[in-house]
Copies of this chain bind each other. A is one copy, B any other.
Amino acid sequence: MITSTEEDYIKAIFNISQRGKKELVGTNQIASQMSTSAASVTDMLRKLDKKEMIIYEKYKGVKLSPLGTIKAMTLLRKHRLWESFLVEKLGFAWDEVHDIAEQMEHIQSTELVNRLDKYLGYPKFDPHGDPIPDAQGTITIRNQVSLSSLQTGDKGMVVGVKKHDKDFLNHLNQVGINIGTELEIILKYDYDQSIKLNINNSNEALLTAAVCENIFLKKFS
């Protein structure tokens, strides 16, 4: 038996270790990710260690055990399948689904998840371009580059975003960027690395370096 609070900690540890380079995750990192106190994190780490979901050494840090990694994959699978359902079947926008999926990922029923997967046609990526682990927990890796790494004249198609918060996604909506959108870099300014680009061969837009950093593309040619 695992509680949904424990599940959220597992997810947080996985997410932090994905985006950082270091193998071990720190107490404060988890605390800030979960918007809770460091003391609460320490308590929970002890508990998850006893349940053998993580490998934890006092003062040094923490990483997921094999068991914890499987659990994290299951959670990502559920979260991303529900997000896909909300967008594909119920017509939600990609910036409206995260908080709901955050709840639905905790529903306990493997049969439900597998049937949902089938119903959606076994999608490989969620509405934010994140890969969906299959029933065995394996994920499809896609070769993608950050928009920041492209130069003047380069072209590509948007395949994912790094941040998932409403404000960021809403901004992309406003400038007309979504998964599948085609971009051509008209000019990359040396001064501040901001990028002027052409969207779907029609509109033009200017993105700051901070925004470009969080957009993933499949580069053409």
A residues near B (Cβ < 8 Å) are: 86, 89-92, 96, 99-100, 103-104, 107-109, 111-112, 115-116, 119
| Selected contact of A92 from candidates B89, B90, B100, B115, CB within 8 Å | B115
Contact A90–B104 (Cβ < 8 Å): no
CA distance A187 to B89 in the complex (A): 48
Q: Which of B91, B99, B103, B115 contacts A90 (CB 8 A)?
A: B115
Q: How far is the CA of A150 from the CA of B147 in the complex (A)?
A: 72
Q: Are B109 and A107 in contact (CB under 8 A)?
A: no
Q: Contact between A100 and B119 (Cβ–Cβ < 8 Å)?
A: no
Which residues from chain B contact A100 at a C-beta distance below 8 Å?
A: 107, 109, 112
With A99-B109, A100-B109, A103-B108 given, can you name 6 additional A-B contacts, CB distance below 8 Å?
A91-B115, A92-B111, A92-B115, A100-B107, A100-B112, A103-B107
Smallest CB gap from A108: residue in B: B103
9 CB contacts below 8 A, A to B, read A86-B112, A89-B119, A90-B112, A90-B115, A91-B115, A92-B115, A100-B107, A100-B112, A103-B107
Give the dominant DSSP class at A's interface. helix
Give the complex CA separation of A99 and B109 in angstroms: 9
Distance, CA A89 to CA B88, complexed state (A)? 14
Closest Cβ of chain B: how far from A114's Cβ, in Å? 10
A104-B78 Cα distance, complex, nearest whole Å: 14
Checking B104, B108, B112 against A107 with a beta-carbon cut-off of 8 angstroms, the contacting residue is B104
Bound: A166/B42 CA distance, A: 42
Contacts of A112 in B (CB 8 A): 86, 90, 100
Q: How far is the CA of A119 from the CA of B91 in the complex (A)?
A: 9
Q: CB-CB < 8 A to A107: which residues of B?
A: 100, 103-104
